Structures are given as structure tokens and as C-alpha cells.
A and B are shown apart, each in its own frame.
Chain A
Amino acid sequence: MSIQNLNTFDPFADAIKGADDDVQDGLVHIRIQQRNGRKTLTTVQGLSSEYDLKKIVRSCKKEFACNGTVIEHPEYGEVLQLQGDQRENICQWLTKAGLAKPDQLKVHGF
């Protein structure tokens, strides 16, 4: 058993983490929207514009066997849009590809 008070605590850990993040405002929002019937859309907002979103979407489409596009939004920048509920898939994919860390992903929806 370790004594918690004696552990060294790095007060700048958060600052260091924030400096090298790959996304604007630190979070990638993954949302789901209902369409007609039982169809859904998954949107991924907040990926850094340094990445080529077109290539990302091309790879995602192949991987998840769904369609998808990149949408230009004046406020939110480029947003990835995939057909169907791809929340789990996209989370795994983003972490595996190293585009975002697990604690930078924020999943919305039910």
C-alpha cells in the first residue's frame, strides 16, 4: 500500500498535456442525430484542421462500411459526417490512429 500524500504530484501535468493536443479546444465531440425511421447520422466535430479530413473520411468509410462526407461549417470548421451509428467505431478508430486521446473524445447522444 502506498501512502498517497508522499506521492509526487506534478502541478504542471495538465499544462503539458494541453500543449501538445491535436485538437482545437481539446475535445472531439462525437454526436448522433436521428434521421427518418431508424436511420442515424454520426458527426465528429473538433478534429484539428491540420489533418486531411478527406483522407480520414475515406479511411473511415472503408473501415466501417458506411458513407460519409466532410462538411465545411463557418463556426465549427470541418466536420466529419458518417452514416449510421458509428460512435463506438469512430472512437476506437481515432484512438487507434492516434488522432485523439481517449480523454479528448466526448460522446454525446443517448
Chain B
Amino acid sequence: MDAEDGFDPTLLKKKKKKKTFDLDAALGLDDGSRKEEPKEDAPLDSGAADLEDNLDLESFGKKKKKKKKPFNLDELEGALPSAKEGEEEESNAAVLEEPEDDDINLDMDFSKDKKKKKSKKKDLDELFADKDEEDKSENKENVDDNSSSWAGTDRDYTYDELLKRVFEIILDKNPDMAAGRKPKFVMRPPQVLRVGTKKTSFANFMDIAKTLHRLPKHLLDFLLAELGTSGSMDGNQQLIIKGRFQPKQIENVLRRYIKEYVTCHTCRSPETILQKDTRLFFLQCESCGSRCSVASIKSGFQAVTGKRAAIRAKTT
């Protein structure tokens, strides 16, 4: 955990992006993740389709021979076979990777593949600008093919078909994933209001603690330690924090809490129990059974921000 939380200013941006993606899905705070999937699929399809035509045109008889040959030979013969080979490997790699990874990683892989595809596609376009136009007409026919059409024939399968096939297999094997592809962890956004000028109220604090299945006190300790302020629960079960905070800021802290104390560090499922065992907190996962210790909440050094005279008057 420590290594992950470590701060690399250059890496941070990337890391944060990934994290927000995961956590968004976990929190269900916004529908970004849901929207992203179709978006990613669409360009991938078109890119793959464009490529697979080149592959199809060339690959009917002589593909096996080509593959054995060293790379520079291919280059001599022309860019098309080499590109084809690259594409082949990619598609193979993608197919091999997919079944192992969990759904979150799946998305990452896709984006990676997509990028590679795009660059490849550009090269191809430059080289075979004229050929592509012919290909596009055939392209439509290929897309219409269903996933197992190649099963009986001796022609080579295309990337699209393999992709479809692997998704069908995934959905067959895991029927529970079929609906959303992700068991979502839905949470309401924190309701944060300003009370006066110096205090902030966190209205649905109890609700959030309940949805996370954590003791309100634990969450309270974490929030106050992270924000470096003081605060307390008031009469109607809302949290009053000293200082001005935006909902976005509270959300960030909640995300960090969820990452550290709610989601399982091994399988990232939110079905976990936090137990206290000899002064240490342990996170026990309900779905994968892993158990690991989590950092205790320490507020650390607190600088003097109030009036020193008032503090002095209090102590003496």
C-alpha cells in the first residue's frame, strides 16, 4: 500500500487518472465509466476493421509462410506483410490477456491496444491510401459476419471475430457480469454545506458511513486527520468540520478512505470487514478471503493556526 501511495510528482497525474477511473466505478459517483466503454469500443472496431481487411486480402494462402520469415525480409517485400504480422501478434496478445484479467484491467488493455492500432493504422493509411478505399467496401461485409463464421472454413479469423468470441466466452462463464460488467459500488455524493463562514457541515455523513459498512467514528477520525482540522457530530447526525471545504475536496478524501480502508487490497472488492486486533486494524475480504493490516490513522504534526494567546490562556 505504501508504495502505491508514494508520491511521484511526475507520475501523479497518470496515477490519479487511473485511480479516479477505478474509484468512480467503485463509488458510482458519476457515470463516466459507463459512458467510456462504448466510446472505447467504437473506434477500436473501426480501426480493427480497417486493418483486418488488409490482412484478409493478403492472408488467404500464404500467411503461414510469411510469419516464419524474419522481419527485415518482410520489410523488403513491402510494409503490408510486416504490418499484418504486427497486427496478428497484437490480436493474439490481446486474446491471451483478456481471460486472465479482471474487468478493470480489461478496460486498460483495450485502450492500450487501441493506441497501438491507431498508430499502425496511420502508417498503413499513408502507404496504402488507394488500397484502403477498395478495402472499405469489403469491410462492411466482414463486419456483418458473426463471430463463429470462420469456425468451419479454413480462412483466417479476424481480430473482430476473435474479440467477439472472447467476450461471448467471458459472458457465458460469468453470467453475473453480464449486466453491468462490473459489480458496481454505488454511493451517493457527499452533501457538503457551509455553516456560517468558518465551518462546514457534512450532512449525509452517517449515510456514507453506513453504505461503506464502517464505524462512523473511524471515518470521522480519518476525515479529521486528513483534513488537519477538528470537528464533531451535531444533534441531527451531521458532521460539522472546522474550516471551509468544497464537496469536491471531501470527495477526494473519501476516495482515499475507500481505497485504503474499504476496498480489498488484493481483489478490490468493497465487501470487506474492518476488524481491530491487538491495536491493529485488519481488513478482511469477504469475497476473496484475504486479510491484511491497514495503516492506523495518525493525525501527525499539527501546526499552530489559532491565536497563540488563547492557547496560552487555556493551558495556564
- Chain A interface (Cβ within 8 Å of chain B)? 1, 26-27, 29-36, 38, 41, 43, 45, 71, 73, 76, 79, 81, 88, 91-92, 95, 101-110
Assess the B227–A102 pair: CB atoms within 8 A.
no
Q: Which of A43, A91, A110 contacts B227 (CB 8 A)?
A: A110
Judged by DSSP, the binding face of B is helix
Task: Give the contacting residue for A33; candidates B7, B10, B228, B250; CB below 8 A.
Answer: B228
Kindly list chain A residues whose C-beta atoms are within 8 Å of the C-beta of B2.
26-27, 103, 106
Q: List 7 A-B contacts (CB under 8 A).
A: A27-B2, A29-B301, A43-B303, A91-B9, A102-B8, A103-B2, A108-B300
Contact with A along B222-252 (1 / 0, CB 8 A): 0001111100000000000001111001101
Interface flag for B93 (CB, 8 Å): yes
**B11 CB–A CB distance under 8 Å:** yes
Complex contacts, B4 vs chain A, CB 8 Å: 103
Give CA–CA (A105, B8) in the complex, Å.
8
Q: What is the CA–CA distance of A47 and B249 in the complex, to the nearest angstrom?
A: 27
Evaluate contact between A41 and B303: CB separation under 8 angstroms. Answer: yes
Binding site for A on B (CB under 8 A): 2-12, 93, 96-97, 225-229, 243-246, 249-250, 252-253, 300-303, 305
- B228 with A108: CB separation less than 8 A: yes
> Out of B96, B244, B250, B253, which one reaches A1, CB within 8 Å?
B96
Residue of B at shortest CB range from A93?
B9
Contacts of B226 in A (CB 8 A): 108-110
* Nearest neighbor of A96 in chain B, beta-carbon distance: B9
CB distance from B225 to the nearest CB of A (A): 8
Q: Bound state CA distance, A101 and B5, in angstroms? A: 12
User: Do A103 and B9 have beta carbons less than 8 Å apart?
Assistant: no
Given contacts A104-B6, A106-B5, A110-B253, contact A81 B228 (CB under 8 A): no
Taking CB atoms, residues of chain A closer than 8 Å to B9 are 88, 91-92, 95, 102
Q: Is the CB–CB distance between B228 and A102 below 8 Å? A: no
Given contacts A29-B300, A33-B228, A73-B301, contact A102 B11 (CB under 8 A): yes
- Which A residue sits closest to B89, measured CB to CB? A1
Determine if A103 and B6 form an interchain contact, defined as CB atoms under 8 angstroms apart: yes
**Complex contacts, A1 vs chain B, CB 8 Å:** 93, 96-97
* Closest B residue by C-beta to A32: B228
B250 lies within 8 A of A110 (CB): yes
- How far does the Cβ of B298 sit from chain A's closest Cβ, in whole Å? 8
Report the minimum CB–CB distance from A23 to chain B (whole Å): 12
Set of chain A residues within 8 Å of B249, measured between Cβ atoms: 110
Neighbouring B residues of A38 by C-beta, 8 Å: 244
A38, A71, A107: which has the most chain B beta carbons within 10 Å?
A: A107
